[in-house]
Chains A and B, each alone.
Chain A
Amino acid sequence: MSEARNLQAVDFDARARQVLSQEPLLSAKDVEVTFSLRGNKLVAIRRASLDLYEGETLAIVGESGSGKSVFTKCFVGMLDKNGSITHGSIEYDGMDLTQLTEKQWLGVRGKKIAMVTQDPMTSLNPLKTIGKQIQESVELHQGLRGAAAKAETIRMLEAVGIPDPERRYKQYPHEFSGGMRQRVVIAIAVACRPQILICDEPTTALDVTIQAQILDLIRRLQKEQNMTIIYITHDLGVVANVADRVAVMYAGQVIEIGMANEVFFDPWHPYTWALLSALPQLGVKGEKLPAIDGTPPNLFNKIVGDAFAPRNKHALNIDFLEEPPMYEVTATHEVKAWLRDPRAPKVEQPNAIKLLESQDGKSKGTDPNAYHPHLDPNRQPLIEVKNMQVTFGTGRKKFVAVNDVNFTIYKGETFALVGESGSGKTTIGRALVRINPITAGEVYLEGQKINGKITKAQDLNVIRSCQMIFQDPMASLNERAKVDYIVSEGLINHHLYSSEQERQEKVQKALEEVGLLPEFSSRFPHEFSGGQRQRIGIARALIMEPKFIVADEPISALDVSIRAQVLNLLNDLKQKRGLTYMFIAHDLSVVRFISDRIAVIHKGRIVELAEAEELFLHPLHPYTQALLSAVPNPNPYLERTKKLLVYDPSIHDYSTDKPVWEEILPDHFIYGNQRELDGYRKTLGL
């Protein structure tokens, strides 16, 4: 715990008064952006309006395709070349940004409005040193030259929290980690001393612990340089962390905008309701999450009425006919929903929204009627892993991805494996379905060894019993094969049908089971959205009638509104078919909702393994504690006052006292040496 932090609670009322007393710094009115794509017109932004006030942090939330990125790209004149602003104005500093020529843009872009993009891996030039890249920006925008520019660059590196800046100045991007690169990108953007900084999902590609540090950094820089920040994200936890005001976008429109506390605790658009109530943090374990059906609309089609209406369980008839106007809820809170019309029936917000205000980071409980395998004294082990080691490469390039891992997965449970990118969690999952060969150790399925040399019959049995669901629904389906082939691939491989008719029946049944229409089987994957594609992937695994499924981050590539669908489906299937899951994730809030037991993995080693609630209540290993402290909480008050713990692996001194894998409490395992174990026992009061 090298660093702890305590933030001030925010006074949203004071911020609201501040907003009301100001003229907007930037004001976008009725902006419409049209793209021409494959001969068709796509209206990506449908007359959206937005005001930005000086010194505030405005978060724009929305799913992919909602137009949040495109909208803000208009503010810096960086639309793709097949898109153009076809209506509306953007007032800033006495100019209309929609009318600027490319030459005039040079005076605004970067200098006054700068942008930080999502992927730090691609936004830096790999052939130039970090120092050169920042210095370029310093020279261009601050007019410094030579030694002065270098000194300023080094000061910038220090300001964004890069240790040893003198040495780092001469290094290339590949020598930096993802989080460090994002700091460099921020340094380049901030070096121009912009008035407005647009951050487009700056932490989406980063691990949770790094994410929290970057958010902190941006907040600090904002205070130091008095910047106004627009923050684009799909993660409501991040919004709660950073935003003074929140704008919710759907299908190219701002549908709700208000102070963060208003949008979180008193939202009025059914879409905002649905988004917030679908959060797994608010779910009761064993019960269904209130999911939103379907997917965001295809903007090629003309949208009549409220774009959300077909997915809205509380839609009014008028929602299908006419677009709602903006209704004022308070002076700072506006919403675009017919439900606020005086003629509409008076309604109350759904219960989940009321829960949000009392959201305290504690579990919402578990359903006592559901089966909880960890409470079952007669539980049977399904998968047993003993001293598993996986290495890649040979000789000098040898890399140990998974090191001496032990765990047991019991029948009927969801076993979660949580860790950061590169920790080896996916490698373990793939080793269990035998895509990655194991270097040392043993894996048992129902007591039978399944790694190494096994008989052909056993091999087929393992293939049928253990299946996998993949992370990226875009990459995990063969684009050039029909859904029919994709789903029945396993059947064909093992001749699990006696006639063509039986095969088709099985495919239809599998599709229905995952909530897809049977007619979909004759289509190609590109016709489906991410959530539907993920369900096709689930159907492909299910048709083998497996006992055990490795789900490798099955929801992390999906939109927020679709995640709940997939989580519900997985839980449903688990109950109906008695499936056992290994759920690989990096997001602890999801894991708490879905899993029975959680293993935390760090650098190829499982450091702690316990029952889900036990782990959240009594995290022992410092890494687990750091991970838990970084979990975003969709409550602006709590999120802003949370303490962030940073894990420093050098606190472990394993030179003389060798660490062991110890069951410190029944069903609570931890990795540590004797001295540390004694410490953990003390904390537990043993």
Chain B
Amino acid sequence: MAAKKERKKTVQELEAPVVNLNVNYDTVDTEPKKERPMGREYPKSRNKMPEKQLFEFAEYHPQDAERTGYSNYSYWKSVWANFVKNKAAVTMLCVFIVLFIFTFVAEWISPYKLKELQQNNNEIFLLPSSEHWFGTTQAGKDYWVITWYATRVSIGLAAMVAVGQIVVGTIIGLIWGYVRKLDRLFTEIYNLIDNIPTIIYMTLIALMVGQSVGIMAVAMIAFGWLGTARNVRNLVFMYRDREYNLASRCLGTRLFRILFKNIFPYLISVIVLRLTLAIPGTIAYETTLSYLGLISEEYSLGILLRNSRDYFLRFPHMLVFPAIIVSIITITFYLVGNAFSDACDPRNHV
């Protein structure tokens, strides 16, 4: 009150009376108001203010005080900014996107169509030329069209399996980590599956159920979620007893809402990282399975590599083209995954 009165008077400089500074806090307006979004209008320089006024009490605005500590840091913006800084990863990501689009375009720009390819004994094992850009196969078919189609199949399979593994792994991992009663059960299931080499399961399924891509994809998901689930479970342990989860329990929030609103968002960076690494992993695995003859697809990168093994010393183009594409995909996801995980680490947000 006293301060307010003083403001109206012009201060008589040195002879100013002693001011009682005790503010009556009940009369101070502590309710912040919407009307002054920009806060106080500050004079920009002291020249615009007479010296007398300089030493008068200024008006007090609680909402200005409320604004003093504001920070505009955003986690995902910083992640993106850091990721973009990694030139190698960004370049490779662009290369991969072009490559993926090209798997659709390649057949269209080529004079040969996949569906019309026929055995042609006159043109077997032709080296790359202006007519057959990637050469031909042992059956005399155009290798360009086949390679790009195989790439598309492999990427599609890898994406499907990777997403499947991560989704299943994350859901199981969340429940495994959060619900104490189920911890023992899931641990035993994990041990049971993990202690037998996966290749044995895959062989059994291929021989007993079938060797189509669909069946093998399901099988790869069924045994591939383990790593993600365990990783997620360990992370959930970290977040489970944080105070904000206790607060949610206090408010009576249901289990699934807690899992997906309170815990899942903290795991996104790890999940995306695992996803990016699962794609090249699946392509490599698919190659292995094809090589062992457990997948009976006509064309995929793995099948092409297997088929080329008998001829590649004499006809290296059979191996080189699919190998280059597999390398590009693997290197891309490896670099992107690493760059992303670095970008997600808050300690690097400097």
Residues of A within 8 A of B (CB): 36-39, 82, 273, 288, 290-298, 300, 304, 309-322, 338, 341-351, 430, 433, 435, 459-460, 463, 467-468, 470-472, 475-481, 485, 489-490, 493-494, 512, 515-519, 524, 526-529, 532, 537, 540-541, 544
Complex Cα distance A94/B22, Å?
48
A-B contact pairs, 6 of them (CB 8 A): A82-B350, A296-B68, A435-B246, A490-B252, A512-B31, A527-B70
The distance from the CB of A63 to the nearest CB of chain B, in whole angstroms, is 11
Task: Determine if B115 is an interface residue (Cβ-Cβ < 8 Å).
Answer: no
Instruction: From the candidates B14, B18, B46, B58, name the one contacting A342 in the complex (CB within 8 A).
Output: B14
Q: Is the CB of A478 within 8 A of B244?
A: yes
Residue-by-residue, is B61-82 near A (CB-CB < 8 Å gives 1, otherwise 0)?
Answer: 1111111111111110010010
Complex Cα distance A344/B30, Å?
27
Q: Is the CB of A318 within 8 A of B54?
A: yes
The distance from the CB of A554 to the nearest CB of chain B, in whole angstroms, is 12
Q: How large is the interface on B (under 10, 10 to 19, 20 to 34, 35 or more residues)?
A: 35 or more
CB neighbours (8 Å) of A490 from chain B are 251-252
Q: Is the CB of B65 within 8 A of A38?
A: no
The distance from the CB of A553 to the nearest CB of chain B, in whole angstroms, is 11
- CB contacts under 8 Å to A, within B236-257, are 242-244, 246-254, 257
Instruction: From the candidates B25, B53, B55, B243, name the one contacting A345 in the complex (CB within 8 A).
Output: B55
Task: Determine if B56 is an interface residue (Cβ-Cβ < 8 Å).
Answer: yes
Q: Is the CB of A348 within 8 A of B21?
A: yes
4 closest A-B pairs by beta carbon, nearest first, are A294-B65, A295-B69, A480-B265, A293-B65
Q: Is the CB of A343 within 8 A of B55?
A: yes
Closest to A293 in B: B65
CB neighbours (8 Å) of B61 from chain A are 310
Closest to A312 in B: B60
The distance from the CB of B308 to the nearest CB of chain A, in whole angstroms, is 48
Beyond A345-B11, A346-B16, A478-B261, whether A290 also contacts B266 by CB under 8 A is no
Instruction: From the candidates B28, B34, B69, name the one contacting A297 in the complex (CB within 8 A).
Output: B69
Beyond A463-B251, A485-B261, A540-B251, whether A317 also contacts B70 by CB under 8 A is no
Q: Is the CB of A295 within 8 A of B68?
A: yes
Q: Is the CB of A314 within 8 A of B21?
A: yes
The distance from the CB of A255 to the nearest CB of chain B, in whole angstroms, is 16
Closest to A307 in B: B68
Complex Cα distance A298/B53, Å?
28
CB neighbours (8 Å) of B188 from chain A are none
Task: Determine if B191 is an interface residue (Cβ-Cβ < 8 Å).
Answer: no
- CB contacts under 8 Å to A, within B137-182, are none
CB neighbours (8 Å) of B55 from chain A are 316-318, 338, 341, 343-345
CB neighbours (8 Å) of B60 from chain A are 312-313, 315
Extra contacts besides A347-B21, A468-B250, A478-B248 (17): CB < 8 Å: A82-B350, A290-B23, A293-B30, A309-B58, A310-B64, A317-B55, A320-B58, A321-B43, A343-B51, A346-B19, A348-B21, A430-B246, A478-B265, A493-B251, A518-B34, A519-B34, A527-B70
Residues of B within 8 A of A (CB): 3, 6, 11, 13-14, 16-23, 25-26, 28, 30-32, 34, 40, 42-43, 45-46, 49, 51, 53-58, 60-75, 78, 81, 242-244, 246-254, 257, 261-262, 265-266, 349-350
Q: Is the CB of B65 within 8 A of A317?
A: no
Q: Is the CB of A38 within 8 A of B349?
A: yes
Q: Is the CB of A313 within 8 A of B252?
A: no
Beyond A38-B78, A320-B42, A540-B247, whether A347 also contacts B19 by CB under 8 A is yes
Complex Cα distance A350/B66, Å?
23
The distance from the CB of A567 to the nearest CB of chain B, in whole angstroms, is 13
The distance from the CB of A391 to the nearest CB of chain B, in whole angstroms, is 17
Complex Cα distance A313/B2, Å?
11
Beyond A295-B68, A313-B23, A493-B252, whether A345 also contacts B56 by CB under 8 A is yes
Closest to B44 in A: A321
CB neighbours (8 Å) of B246 from chain A are 430, 435, 468, 470, 476
Q: Is the CB of B247 within 8 A of A348?
A: no
CB neighbours (8 Å) of B252 from chain A are 459-460, 463, 490, 493-494
Closest to B49 in A: A317
Complex Cα distance A528/B67, Å?
9
CB neighbours (8 Å) of A526 from chain B are 71, 73, 75
Closest to A322 in B: B46
Closest to A343 in B: B55
Closest to B54 in A: A318
Instruction: From the candidates A316, A460, A475, name the one contacting B57 in the complex (CB within 8 A).
Output: A316
Beyond A345-B56, A350-B22, A518-B34, whether A294 also contacts B11 by CB under 8 A is no
Complex Cα distance A322/B42, Å?
12
CB neighbours (8 Å) of A476 from chain B are 243-244, 246-247
Complex Cα distance A470/B26, Å?
28
Instruction: From the candidates A346, A471, A475, A541, name the one contacting B244 in the complex (CB within 8 A).
Output: A475
Q: Is the CB of B54 within 8 A of A317?
A: yes
CB neighbours (8 Å) of B71 from chain A are 298, 300, 526-527
Complex Cα distance A287/B248, Å?
33
Beyond A293-B62, A463-B252, whether A349 also contacts B21 by CB under 8 A is yes
Complex Cα distance A317/B49, Å?
9
Complex Cα distance A317/B52, Å?
10
Q: Is the CB of B247 within 8 A of A517?
A: no
Q: Is the CB of B75 within 8 A of A315?
A: no
Which among A295, A478, A485, A494 has the highest number of chain B CB atoms within 10 Å? A478
Q: Is the CB of A314 within 8 A of B57?
A: yes
The distance from the CB of A49 to the nearest CB of chain B, in whole angstroms, is 24
CB neighbours (8 Å) of A463 from chain B are 250-252
The distance from the CB of B249 to the nearest CB of chain A, in whole angstroms, is 6
Q: Is the CB of B14 within 8 A of A294?
A: no
Complex Cα distance A381/B72, Å?
47
Q: Is the CB of A38 within 8 A of B25?
A: no
Instruction: From the candidates A297, A459, A481, name the one contacting B68 in the complex (CB within 8 A).
Output: A297
Q: Is the CB of B253 within 8 A of A489?
A: yes
Instruction: From the candidates B18, B54, B65, B66, name the one contacting A347 in the complex (CB within 8 A).
Output: B18
CB neighbours (8 Å) of B75 from chain A are 479, 526
Complex Cα distance A529/B66, Å?
10
Q: Is the CB of A36 within 8 A of B265?
A: no
Q: Is the CB of A544 within 8 A of B251?
A: yes
CB neighbours (8 Å) of A313 from chain B are 3, 23, 28, 60
Instruction: From the candidates A293, A351, A481, name the one contacting B261 in the complex (CB within 8 A).
Output: A481
Complex Cα distance A316/B54, Å?
7
Beyond A310-B64, A478-B262, whether A489 also contacts B248 by CB under 8 A is yes
